[in-house]
Amino acid sequence: MVEKRTLLFASLLMFVLAMLTSSLAGYFYLQNAVSSEQNAENLQSIDAMATRYNDAMTKYNKLLSDYSMLYGSYSLSQDTDFTLPTDSLNDLLDHAEGNFSSLLASQKDLNETCYELRGKCQALLARGNVTREEFGELLNELYELLNLLVIRELNSAMSEVTTLAINMCIDYGNETVKWYNNTDVSPGSSLFQAIQKVATVNYTYYAWMKPGHIRLTAINDKEEYAIGYSEGWSWIWYYWNDDLQQLVSGPVGCDAWMLKDGGTYKWRFEHWSWP
């Protein structure tokens, strides 16, 4: 009887071990299959990013080559009327818009910059007799735009394989404070792009303001306002300075400030006044 019971337990033990071994084999097979699939997806994403990178650099190099020819003519010219070169610059801007149309459609600040530059070109062409100084200013703005376009295009490609996590705070100035921690953003995103992920904003574009052209005028319907000409309430942004271990007022327009992984940023509705 004891021998039969022992034999039964031994048989059950062998059965359990066999089932466990089979389950482990199935588990590791499944894990290996999932891992292989993830690796394949990662490689596919990297390949796609590399393709987009090459495409962006090809477009940029062609535009930069055309820009260099235009700049060379400007540098060597003894003319006083730069109306014809301005027409050529306007054509180059057309090409830039065509090559980066998808990017311009998705990023308001870049589209606004392009629109402002287009307006300046057309205004000068309509007037005629473009001065050397006016054309030189257009060239500088076009160069800045071309660089921004390719940087944003490359950042967009990188976002397909990696993301950043930031902490965003909105202080409404009335003891209402909202935190949006671990907010995912694409590499190379600006603070202007990030705030739009967590809030509805209104803004004003200043063509003359550099670096960055955008100032927020409202966040989630909380609008700035002035009391006469000497005081008012406005949205001010800050970033966490690791060296100083404190929040520091933003030194540039929010559309020019690039975000870093783990960075902390704050928008605060503040009172201001002139002496």
Q: Specify the CATH number for the domain of residue 182.
A: 2.170.130.30
Q: Is residue 121 situated within a structural domain?
A: yes
Residue where one domain finishes, among candidates 158, 190, 214: 158
Q: How far apart are CA 147 and CA 60, in angstroms?
A: 8
Amino acid at 125: L
Residue where one domain finishes, among candidates 111, 141, 158: 158
Indicate the average pLDDT of the chain.
Answer: 82
Residue where one domain finishes, among candidates 129, 158, 187: 158
The residue segments making up the domain with residue 250 are 164-273
pLDDT on residue 29: 47
- Lowest mean pLDDT of 25-29, 111-115, 161-165, 264-268, name the range: 25-29
pLDDT on residue 75: 85
Tell me whether the omega of the peptide bond preceding residue 187 falls within 30 degrees of 0, making it cis: no
Based on the fold, state whether residues 149 and 187 are members of the same structural domain.
no
pLDDT on residue 45: 54
12: confidence class by pLDDT, cuts 50, 70, 90:
very low
pLDDT on residue 235: 97
Higher pLDDT, residue 164 or 5: 164
Residue 54 has pLDDT above 80, yes or no: no
Residue 165 has pLDDT above 60, yes or no: yes
Higher pLDDT, residue 158 or 266: 266
Q: How many domains are there within the chain?
A: 2
Q: Is residue 4 situated within a structural domain?
A: no
Q: Give me the mean pLDDT over the 237-241 stretch.
A: 94
Q: How far apart are CA 50 and CA 46, in angstroms?
A: 6
**Who contacts 168 (Cβ-Cβ below 8 Å, separation ≥6)?**
179, 180, 181, 183, 194, 195, 198, 264, 265, 266, 267
125: confidence class by pLDDT, cuts 50, 70, 90:
very high
Q: What is the pLDDT of residues 259-271, one digit of tens each?
A: 888 999 999 999 9
Residue 81 has pLDDT above 80, yes or no: yes
Based on the fold, state whether residues 61 and 140 are members of the same structural domain.
yes
